[in-house]
Amino acid sequence: MAQRCILASGSPRRREILAHLGLEFEVVVSDADERTGETDPARLSEELSVRKGHAVRDLLAAHGEDVAGKLLIASDTTVFCGGEILGKPRDAADARRMLSMLSGRRHEVVSGIWLCRDGLEAVSHAVTSVEFAPLTDSEITSYIASGEPFGKAGAYAIQGLASSFIRGIDGDYFNVVGLPVNRMCDLYRSTFGGELVLRGE
């Protein structure tokens, strides 16, 4: 029997990934406070994933929603480059700063993943290394003008126009998109037993 899920995120990219996996899910957007003083990207991604998950779990409980047997999924993605955590750009100038920093360099994308079912919860994270080709000023300007950098950690979407910037990747591609699929499935297996994604006969 397929595992029914609740995705604690409004991210269209995470929705697309779960849909491609064939999972049955509903979306409940988290209103968790994401302000934190944490500077380690792995701890940060896990902390924010837990916060988002707890916020949605508490919201559902407050509304008397029956979540028995349902898997709650929360995730948070961070880009780490040159000792700095790059979140979502505030404006075009911030996007330019981030893209200029990533240009011609290797950086890490860290995504936390939190799962909870029937009161049992677990959290982990995945790390993917991404190398950007050198970017010209005109490439950065055009990319910012496309609007794609906004709302994305590190100011880029690997599955979009920024795919042309990628020289190499080491690790889970979907982690960079926003949901560490392999780590999520491993965490499900080790915590709840069985397979999250049914592969058919």
Contact yes or no for 196/185 (Cβ under 8 A)? yes
Which candidate, 28, 126, 36, 12, places its Cα nearest to that of 73?
A: 28
Q: Which of 201, 154, 194 is nearest to 71 (CA)?
A: 194
Q: Which amino acid, 29?
A: V
Q: For the chain, first and last CA: distance in Å?
A: 13
Residues 88 and 90: their CA atoms lie apart, in Å, by: 6
Closest Cα to residue 153, out of 62, 24, 45, 52? 45
Residues classed as catalytic: 76
| Cα 73 to Cα 17: distance, rounded to the nearest angstrom | 12
**What residue type is 38 in one-letter code?**
E
Distance CA 133, CA 106 (A): 9
